[in-house]
Amino acid sequence: MLEIKGLTAKVEEKEILHGIDLTVNAGEVHAIMGPNGSGKSTLARVLAGHPGYEVTGGTITYDGQDLLELAADERARKGVFMAFQYPVEIPGVNNAYFLKAALNATRKEQGLEELDAIDFMTLVKGEAKRLQMDDSMLQRSVNEGFSGGEKKRNEIFHMAVLQPRLAVLDETDSGLDIDALRVVSEGVNALRSPERAFVVVTHYQRLLEYIVPDHVHVLSEGRIVRSGGRELALELEDKGYGWIESAGAGARR
Partner 1 sequence: METATTKVFEDLAAQDYKYGFVTDVEQEIVPKGLDEDVVRLISTKKGEPGWLLEWRLKAFRAWQKMTEPTWQNVTYNAIDYQDISYYAAPKEKPKLNSLDDVDPEIRRTFEKLGIPLEEQKLLANVAVDAVFDSVSVATTFRDKLAKAGIIFCSFSEAVREHPELVRQYLGSVVPHTDNFFAALNAAVFSDGSFVFVPKGVRCPMELSTYFRINAKGTGQFERTLIVAEEGAYVSYLEGCTAPMRDENQLHAAVVELVALEGATIKYSTVQNWYPGDKDGKGGIYNFVTKRGTCRGARSKITWTQVETGSAVTWKYPSCILQGDDSVGEFYSVAVTNNRQQADTGTKMIHLGKNTRSTIVSKGISAGLGQNTYRGAVKVAKGAANARNYSQCDSLLIGDKCGAHTFPYLEIKNTSAKVEHEASTSKIGEDQMFYCASRGIAMEDAINMIVSGFCKEVFRELPMEFAVEAQKLLSVSLEGSVG
Binding residues (CB under 8 A) for partner 1: these are 12, 48-52, 71-73, 76-77, 81-82, 84, 87-88, 90-94, 98-99, 101-102, 105-106, 109, 141, 158, 162
CA distance 247 to 103: 45
CA distance 159 to 169: 10
- Residue 112 or 212: the one with the smaller Cβ distance to partner 1 is 112
Least Å from the CB of residue 90 to partner 1: 6
Least Å from the CB of residue 88 to partner 1: 4
- Residue 49 or 248: the one with the smaller Cβ distance to partner 1 is 49
- As to burial, measured by CB atoms within 10 angstroms (0-12 exposed, 13-18 middle, 19+ buried), residue 166 is buried
Least Å from the CB of residue 41 to partner 1: 13
Residues 6+ apart with CB under 8 A from 56: 8, 9, 10, 15
CA distance 153 to 187: 9
- Residue 74 or 195: the one with the smaller Cβ distance to partner 1 is 74
With H, G, I as helix, E, B as strand and everything else as coil, classify residue 110.
Answer: coil
Least Å from the CB of residue 73 to partner 1: 4
Least Å from the CB of residue 7 to partner 1: 19
- Residue 51 or 194: the one with the smaller Cβ distance to partner 1 is 51
- Residue 151 or 226: the one with the smaller Cβ distance to partner 1 is 151
CA angle 37, 41, 42 (to 5 degrees): 85
